[in-house]
Amino acid sequence: MDYATILVHLDASRHVHQRLHLSTQLALEFHAALVGLLAAGNPDPRAIRYFADGERYLASYKDWHRKIEDWARQAFEGATKGTAVTAEWRAPDWATVSTVQADAHLADLLILGQRDSADDEAFAEDHFVESVILHCGRPVLVVPYAGRFSSVGKNILVAWNGSREAARAIRDALPLLLRADHVHVVSYLKPGVLRDPWLSPVQHAVAWLAHHGVQASHEEPVVSGGGDEAGKLLLSLAADRDVDLIVMGAYGHARLREIVLGGMTRTLLESMTVPVLMSH
């Protein structure tokens, strides 16, 4: 299995160029088509309906959206022009998080940017990244807003807890794992806590990878706390090993209008220092 189509989310964020760089590099590596999807949100219906200057607000929003579309399209075309990448530009009218979730089904891999609260121009719909990960049914590569990443997937750290999400993640990441120079699987142990019988040990992950031609090392460090602590330790280990990609299952669910995430998933999305591929 390879990634035949990669979809990258574009908005007005100053971090778009990093996303475009990595998505173009991956498209070249996998001989994949690259879809650039503009999603910058839609106008606030309350501002149109309930305020006297609603029409002026709508006109101003349309003008802002046109400028963003022009800028993002130029960035996308600039990143792919002169390369062997087959590029497709998509700019639905006032696309939202639901648009991204739906259009993700066009692709084998989706690339998003980590939320940067200091970036006023970025798409700021509530729980955007989390919602897409939990609902799109595709692996999602999240690129940190801090740092520069010339490549991804040469030195991979896999987080394993034996769950369905973890198994799905290494299956979804297999095209990258097959091309990696180094793969290391980490499974945390809690002293005095019995593993649920439906959770497979880390040796199962290593054996499965070996059947596919991926030689992986593994370790089982001990943690005393919950997912938050394990997430911090995972990031520390990634830094110590000069990792350029973390692969992990994403844990969470939607409750009313709230997204409830597992501790490690939340920690990685908030504090990631390298790109993270998540599957749910």
List pLDDT tens digits, range 95-121: 889 999 999 999 999 999 999 988 888
Fold of 5-143: Rossmann fold (3.40.50)
**What is the percentage of the chain residues whose pLDDT exceeds 70?**
91
The mean pLDDT of the chain is: 89
CA distances from 267 to 16, 68, 232 (A): 23, 31, 7
C-alpha–C-alpha distance, residues 234 and 188, integer Å: 9
Structure letter (DSSP) for residue 195: P
At 78-94, the pLDDT tens digits run: 999 999 999 999 998 88
Could you tell me if 110 and 104 are in contact, meaning their C-beta atoms sit under 8 angstroms apart? yes
Backbone φ and ψ for 216, nearest 5 degrees, come out as -120, 140
Query: Which residues, including other chains, have CB under 8 Å from residue 267's CB and lie 6 or more apart?
Result: 227, 228, 230, 231, 232, 235
What's residue 40's pLDDT? 85
What's residue 256's pLDDT? 44
Residue whose C-alpha is closest to residue 185's, from 241, 266, 111, 250: 241
Would you say residue 228 has pLDDT above 90? no
According to CATH, what is the number of the domain 155-279? 3.40.50.620
C-alpha–C-alpha distance, residues 80 and 25, integer Å: 10
What's residue 259's pLDDT? 58
Q: Choose the most confident range, by mean pLDDT, from 7-11, 95-99, 146-150.
A: 7-11
pTM over 0.75: yes
Tell me the pLDDT band of 55, cut-offs 50, 70 and 90: confident
Residues of the chain with CATH 3.40.50.620: 5-143, 155-279
Helix, strand, or coil here: 58? helix
